[in-house]
Structure 1
Amino acid sequence: MSDKDFVIIDEEKKEKETTPDTVSEEKTEVIKTEEKKEKEDEYEKICFICHRPESVTGKMVELPNNITVCPDCMQKSFDAMTNGSVDLNRLMHIPGVQFLNMSDLENTIPKSQKIKKKKEKTKEYHKLDIKDIPAPHKIKARLDEYVVGQEYAKKAMSVAVYNHYKRVATDTMDDIEIEKSNMLMIGPTGSGKTYLVKTLAKLLDVPLAITDATSLTEAGYIGDDIESVVSKLLAAADNDVERAEQGIIFIDEIDKIAKKRNSNQRDVSGESVQQGMLKLLEGSEVEVPVGANSKNAMVPLTTVNTKNILFICGGAFPDLEEIIKERLSKKTSMGFNSELKDKFEHDKELLSKVTVEDLRKFGMIPEFIGRLPIIFTLKGLDKDMLVKILREPKNAILKQYQKLLALDEVNLKFDDGALEAIAEKAMEKDTGARALRAIIEEFMLDIMYEIPKDDSIGQVTITREYIEGTGGPIIELRGQEVPRLN
């Protein structure tokens, strides 16, 4: 054998040592290790002392033998040792337990106590582009699909929103600075103020926070601070600051923070709240807690700039009509220019004649009104509008019930007399469109309960007599008609 042959044999030996089987085994071990690590990552770490998961406590402190302790418990342990409440000498002489021997503690950890991590849903948010902002007539057309009447309010809101988001999308802050288009909606209860804002936010696909002004108080007093309205918007935007800064905040019941007229006490939920909101409405940087409503040492804070947030305020403003009436009735009551005293008593359009001076007399401070440049009113609902609300919108109440019964293969109909009777009952309640749902729920209860019992029923017609309590609905079986049942 020559030296050359020995070299060939050595090379064959090396090839055998690094065969594909060996390489695949190594790869399999690596994959198994990675899979094991991934499975471990699926579960949250649990605090050994308080048993709270990592999603609640924050990042855990890892100790030997896979023991994890939360920062709170670790701090309490250090405090107890520092204050001398734990006698370390006594701990050293406990029989069978060595001080800080982690192997003794390992068996006491509950093995079954595992909490799976929640899978975070990745949401893709589109950045606002001026080309994507719908024109005012398109915004109004979409609002028309959901809201009946209130033509002027929808028109004013469409233009204001279009101008505001043009300002946000272009970020024009040059020589000509465009001011914010904050709005004030005035209208009786149930006229559609909140519904308009909800529909608008859904149309524009921007985060919306709805808050109630009645819970707001001056900082330092019991109640929500003024900054809490921004923290609600941040929560609605999934804690995405950039998205929250392009959102809408709707403050309802804004008339409840009017200045008290005859009060010597500090007005912590009236004029003080209006003054505290001035900077928010105009645009300022606010520190708000992330994932909480109140600031404390354990909650992280983030800064939100409100210069591009659209504020919409709404309220019923009771007794505002009396102030308008008083202003309009100040003309002479004698001579050729005299007017009847009851001229404005039954004026349904009286609220639309509101001025800034009327709002100031109501109790809104001038600085606050000045930051809400677009003021418009909503009309109270009459009988015809209530009938249209029942029938016309995309998600009308009648369409909802018809869909529910269609799932049971039953056709539901309302005759014109029934709709008028429901509208008349709603007018008596004087709570606007909110009364419609309550009335229909009451009359549909028995029908929704009885229909699923009988598979032979094909159609139900609600009549005026059934609504008024003098008759019953018309029940039609599949393929035939039977007389109305009482």
Structure 2
Amino acid sequence: MSDHDFILVDEEDRENTREEGEKASDRGDKKNVVPADGKKEKDREDDGYEKICFICHRPESVTGKMIDLPNNITVCPDCMQRSFDAMTNGSVDLNRLMNMPGVQFFNMSDLENMQPRQQKIKKKKEKPKEFHQLDIKEIPAPHKIKARLDEYVVGQEYAKKAMSVAVYNHYKRVATGTMDDIEIEKSNMLMIGPTGSGKTYLVKTLAKLLDVPLAITDATSLTEAGYIGDDIESVVSKLLAAADNDVERAEQGIIFIDEIDKIAKKHNSNQRDVSGESVQQGMLKLLEGSEVEVPVGANSKNAMVPLTTVNTKNILFICGGAFPDLENIIRERLQKKTSMGFNAELKDKYRDDKDLLSKVTVEDLRKFGMIPEFLGRLPIIFTLKGLDKDMLVKILKEPKNAILKQYQKLLALDEVKLDFDDGALEAIAEKAMEKDTGARALRAIIEEFMLDIMYEIPKDDSIGEVTITRAYIEGTGGPVIRLRGQEMPLLG
């Protein structure tokens, strides 16, 4: 096809195209328009932007190699093939078309002036993939894993110990394969703990320590195949995306499925349970280890999304959930042991037991709504304790990236020292206990009373130190402001 080839177009379509081109050229946004340097596309070197199909407007990264036509027009292979098919199948009769009223010839060179200015898509920079090959000698021992977790997570000693051993054994299994034909089973985990107790934070810290890809997903959006929602394979698809679509690296990653209690079997429901027991059954093959076809860059399979095969044999699955009302099931089981006689237990013995969740059994979880086959593929079950006042105070100041340390660093950039007295820390913890949302409440409380300080401090260069007091937290006083060389209390 040369610059002087002709194509047919309806007069009305031609007018619409011209109007669109004029509107696009009048736009004030010059940032993403095609550069008008007078050069043809073939003469211009790669400017870092993707080519766009003139017909379907999809970028080259989606369609594949574009076909270059004269006058800087690019068409994707799909649209070009459909055009050829329409011509060869007789769908378009050129003899009839030439005699139709309102149809005229025009030169393809006119098309460049009539087409709207296309928005450009910046190409993704190809980063060199760094695949971290697991070596059994480089896998941190359980006590080293726990020591690193201690730096970021306060308390939860049993949970950190159980997780360290399970992860160590799992990656030994991955690194060695089989030993004397003895197949080592996966160390999938189930974490049970109240909201804000650090379940997600533990997993994030663990993945950072091991330098493996991590995918965090939510079980609430998962549904049975064929229904609105995310397919079960989407959890593996997210891990593949976290590994930069490197299948080999993804097959050694960690998948954390939060809110796993939301897919419990529904009791006394007349409706079809598309997000409960059926999802548990669909996840069995993933947890145990099998080759599954997963969509690349999407949550569900469809004709427009490529598929790849991922083996989940060496993927570590960690499930977590708050399991509300599970304590009632545990309490009911414990109270049924003995109800009469000298060994009878008081009915209110377990009412205020804060460690009641640690007495959970597989039978309790089955009664909650988790099917036995699902629980059987999560052999390591451990619980996290609810946070008390002392633990909340430690969370405020002890971890490496504690909330108070973050604010101290922010004010240090303004050359201001920030301190919190013990009474202030206790007052913050008491307010967080009232909210009953665990460590999440701490951030919201601190954000509230630090707002005025972060706003006022940059105004005055003479301020050298700020001390947060209990009175300021409780609203009965203000922080202590120490100027450079003197001290002055600021009343609230």
TM-score clears 0.5: yes
Alignment deviations for residues 366-386 of structure 1 (CA, whole Å, 9 cap, x no partner): 110000000000000000000
**Which residue among 345, 364, 377 is the counterpart of 1:371?**
377
Aligned pairs (5 A) from 1:58-457: 58-63=64-69, 67-78=73-84, 80-81=86-87, 86-89=92-95, 92=98, 97=106, 117-172=123-178, 174-457=180-463
**Are the aligned partners of 2:66 and 2:74 in contact in 1 as well (CA < 8 Å)?**
yes
Alignment deviations for residues 77-117 of structure 1 (CA, whole Å, 9 cap, x no partner): 3465467664423655765537xxx6665676789976553
**Are the aligned partners of 2:330 and 2:359 in contact in 1 as well (CA < 8 Å)?**
yes
> How far apart are the structure 2 equivalents of 1:70 and 1:222?
31
**Structure 1 pair 37–323 and aligned structure 2 pair: CA distance change class (3 A):** same
> How far apart are the structure 1 equivalents of 2:71 and 2:43?
16
Name 1:470's counterpart in structure 2.
Answer: 476
**Are the aligned partners of 2:478 and 2:489 in contact in 1 as well (CA < 8 Å)?**
no
Alignment deviations for residues 205-241 of structure 1 (CA, whole Å, 9 cap, x no partner): 1111111111111111111110010001001111000
Offset at residue 340 of structure 1 (A)? 1.4
**Structure 1 pair 418–41 and aligned structure 2 pair: CA distance change class (3 A):** closer
Amino acid at match of 1:451: I
Offset at residue 56 of structure 1 (A)? 3.7
**Are the aligned partners of 2:227 and 2:274 in contact in 1 as well (CA < 8 Å)?**
yes
Amino acid at match of 2:441: A
Give ranges in structure 1 of 5+ residues lacking alignment: 1-35
**Structure 1 pair 388–91 and aligned structure 2 pair: CA distance change class (3 A):** same
**What is the SS of the residue equivalent to 1:188?**
coil
**Are the aligned partners of 1:285 and 1:305 in contact in 2 as well (CA < 8 Å)?**
yes
> Which of the two has greater helix per residue?
1
**What is the SS of the residue equivalent to 2:489?**
coil
> How far apart are the structure 1 equivalents of 2:129 and 2:85?
42
Amino acid at match of 2:220: T
**Structure 1 pair 115–199 and aligned structure 2 pair: CA distance change class (3 A):** closer
> How far apart are the structure 2 equivalents of 1:472 and 1:52?
59
Name 1:33's counterpart in structure 2.
Answer: none
> How far apart are the structure 1 equivalents of 2:301 and 2:161?
40
Moved more, 339-348 or 378-387: 339-348
Name 2:34's counterpart in structure 1.
Answer: none
**What is the SS of the residue equivalent to 2:181?**
coil
Moved more, 79-88 or 204-213: 79-88
Q: TM-score by structure 1 length? A: 0.87
**Structure 1 pair 88–157 and aligned structure 2 pair: CA distance change class (3 A):** same
Moved more, 303-312 or 52-61: 52-61
**What is the SS of the residue equivalent to 1:307?**
helix
> How far apart are the structure 1 equivalents of 2:48 and 2:98?
38
**Are the aligned partners of 1:184 and 1:376 in contact in 2 as well (CA < 8 Å)?**
yes
Amino acid at match of 1:483: P
Offset at residue 465 of structure 1 (A)? 0.4
Alignment deviations for residues 175-213 of structure 1 (CA, whole Å, 9 cap, x no partner): 210000000000000000000000000000111111111
**Structure 1 pair 43–356 and aligned structure 2 pair: CA distance change class (3 A):** closer
**Are the aligned partners of 1:253 and 1:316 in contact in 2 as well (CA < 8 Å)?**
yes
Amino acid at match of 1:236: A
**Structure 1 pair 75–260 and aligned structure 2 pair: CA distance change class (3 A):** same
CA RMSD of aligned residues (A): 2.3
Offset at residue 127 of structure 1 (A)? 0.8
Give ranges in structure 2 of 5+ residues lacking alignment: 1-41
Alignment deviations for residues 261-305 of structure 1 (CA, whole Å, 9 cap, x no partner): 212332111111111100100001110111222212122110000
Alignment deviations for residues 304-330 of structure 1 (CA, whole Å, 9 cap, x no partner): 000000000001111111111111111
Offset at residue 333 of structure 1 (A)? 2.9
Offset at residue 65 of structure 1 (A)? 6.4
Offset at residue 334 of structure 1 (A)? 2.8
> How far apart are the structure 2 equivalents of 1:315 and 1:60?
48
Q: How many matched pairs?
A: 448
**Structure 1 pair 456–62 and aligned structure 2 pair: CA distance change class (3 A):** same
**Are the aligned partners of 1:475 and 1:485 in contact in 2 as well (CA < 8 Å)?**
no
Amino acid at match of 2:204: K
> How far apart are the structure 2 equivalents of 1:434 and 1:41?
46
Offset at residue 260 of structure 1 (A)? 1.2
Q: Which structure has the greater CA radius of gyration?
A: 1
**Structure 1 pair 104–452 and aligned structure 2 pair: CA distance change class (3 A):** closer
**Structure 1 pair 483–117 and aligned structure 2 pair: CA distance change class (3 A):** closer
- Residue 465 of structure 2 corresponds to residue 459 of structure 1: yes
**Structure 1 pair 329–122 and aligned structure 2 pair: CA distance change class (3 A):** same
> How far apart are the structure 1 equivalents of 2:298 and 2:423?
51
**What is the SS of the residue equivalent to 1:40?**
coil
> How far apart are the structure 2 equivalents of 1:60 and 1:92?
30
**Structure 1 pair 83–351 and aligned structure 2 pair: CA distance change class (3 A):** same
**Structure 1 pair 115–323 and aligned structure 2 pair: CA distance change class (3 A):** closer
Moved more, 390-399 or 78-87: 78-87
Q: TM-score by structure 2 length? A: 0.86
